[in-house]
A = this chain, B = another copy of it.
Amino acid sequence: MTDYRRLRVALLGAGAVGSQVAALLRKHGDELADRAGAALDLVGIAVRNPDATRDVELPRELFTTDADELITGADIVIELMGGIEPARSNILLALSSGADVVTANKALLATHGPEIFDAADQVGASVYYEAAAAGAIPIIRPLRDSLAGDRVQRIMGIVNGTTNYILDRMDREGSDFADVLADAQALGYAEADPTADVEGFDAAQKAAILASLAFHTAVPLDAVHREGITQIDTQMMDAARKAGYVIKLLAVCERLSGTDASPSGEAISVRVYPALIPREHPLASVHGANNAVFVQAEAAGNLMFYGAGAGGVQTASAVLGDVVSAARRHIAGGVGVGESTRANLPVLPVGRVTTRYQITLEVSDTPGVLATVAGILSDGRVSIATVEQTVLTQGPSTSSGTTGQPGLARIIIGTHRALEQDLSETVERLAASGVVTRVVSVLRVEGD
């Protein structure tokens, strides 16, 4: 066997991903050394409780509670603790000690990314984070490197496995959100507290990371518009299916042009919400807990990256790819390549985005109601593309005929592209109009 230079690898955290990383590093050590050009010695694993039960069996002597000591002696530090602190301090310590850092910590990167990347730049180290967005799917290197010579126009990502699992089952089985969520929790697809997933927080973190890379702009998490899927019901699912759509929680990162928000007229929008996408769109066939990222670039055209979005061993694959990359860089020499954020485009609020919409209204079935609705839309600069009206209930009737009291009708309106701000003001006016008894749903249409 080749006599490789030995690199000291420190692991922080031994949860679902960390324990798999440790196991694979040990199992495939010789093979990884051949690929990296360096032997990867796992010198220790920092955890809160060295005696806790792990997903895989690991030697007790690897575990330590002294993260600082472990970090300062390492060439490569793998941070898989999650959360902001002490992950942030540990990473900063690692970088200042001259180590390269591999992390899967999306919450940290979405909130403290610039601080961490700056710290890496100061010392010429690198931060690798393939596992921080879309799990095992290689999406960071494609955006960071392969598409570095192109101009990304738009990303539409299914980046949260839990919500895709829930929406997919609701779509396929016609089940309720609450029922599928309970089942997903029982099966381990959703956490006991599902807020981070179903309210879109997890997807918003990933959207911030993807948009930062794609648009060479540090995108702060609080600039990401976020809506969850808890309002999606079987009626919306049915209506979407009938209209040839499926509802997916999408992370949309979009380049906007012709705005007055920057000297170049360019800006970006980053948003997470449930949206209707056409059944024939490649993203529509992403089922179960899988993830996929659909990228539209000026030169490359349409690309899609598909795979497992979560899971301990799947995510470990992405982490280990980063470890090999970090090792290769150590051996090759030179400084780390910093994040490219010089485009520095403004991130516009969702109100300034234009998309198509599908508006479902319950109205009183009286003469002239459609004219009233159409007038409000037109006044609000929302142009109607398609409209469908169906009678829901007849007005009460007596033996001598109808009472004259109106029944209920449903109007489903598909709009042309409209400004979100115009749309939301128009929907408010519809709700207050007297003829509309209920705004059943307002959904964006993406991908057509």
**A50 within 8 A of partner (CB):** no
Task: Tell me which residues from 326 to 360 in chain A have a Cβ below 8 Å from any Cβ of chain B.
Answer: 328-329, 331-338, 340, 342-343
Task: Tell me which residues from 125 to 141 in chain A have a Cβ below 8 Å from any Cβ of chain B.
Answer: 130, 136-138, 140-141
Give the A interface residue count (CB, 8 A): 65
Option from B34, B136, B317, B324 in Cβ contact (under 8 Å) with A342: B34
Is there an interface contact between A337 and B342, defined as CB atoms closer than 8 Å? Answer: no
**A172 within 8 A of partner (CB):** no
Q: How long is the Cα–Cα vector from A56 to B231 in the complex, in angstroms?
A: 51
Option from B147, B301, B307, B318 in Cβ contact (under 8 Å) with A302: B307
Q: Contact string, A266-306, partner B, CB cutoff 8 A, digits 1/0?
A: 00000000000000001001000000000001111111111
**A237 within 8 A of partner (CB):** no
Task: Tell me which residues from 5 to 37 in chain A have a Cβ below 8 Å from any Cβ of chain B.
Answer: 20, 24, 28, 31-32, 34-37
Q: How long is the Cα–Cα vector from A140 to B323 in the complex, in angstroms?
A: 18
Rounded to whole Å, the gap between the CB of A194 and the closest CB of chain B is 23
Q: How long is the Cα–Cα vector from A33 to B324 in the complex, in angstroms?
A: 28
**A314 within 8 A of partner (CB):** yes
Q: What residue in chain B is nearest A297 (Cβ atoms)?
A: B317
Is there an interface contact between B149 and A320, defined as CB atoms closer than 8 Å? Answer: yes
The residues of B that contact A146 with a CB separation of less than 8 Å are 130, 138, 140-141, 318, 321
Is there an interface contact between B335 and A314, defined as CB atoms closer than 8 Å? Answer: no
Rounded to whole Å, the gap between the CB of A164 and the closest CB of chain B is 15
**A92 within 8 A of partner (CB):** no
User: Given A301-B136, A306-B304, A335-B332, A324–B35 Cβ distance below 8 Å?
Assistant: no
- Interface CB pairs A-B, < 8 A, 9: A34-B216, A35-B148, A35-B149, A35-B216, A35-B342, A37-B337, A148-B321, A148-B325, A302-B308
Give the top 6 A-B pairs by smallest Cβ distance, nearest first.
Answer: A149-B320, A334-B334, A138-B146, A333-B334, A138-B142, A299-B317
Given contacts A141-B142, A300-B317, A333-B335, 6 further A-B contacts (CB under 8 A): A35-B342, A136-B300, A148-B325, A150-B317, A302-B308, A332-B337
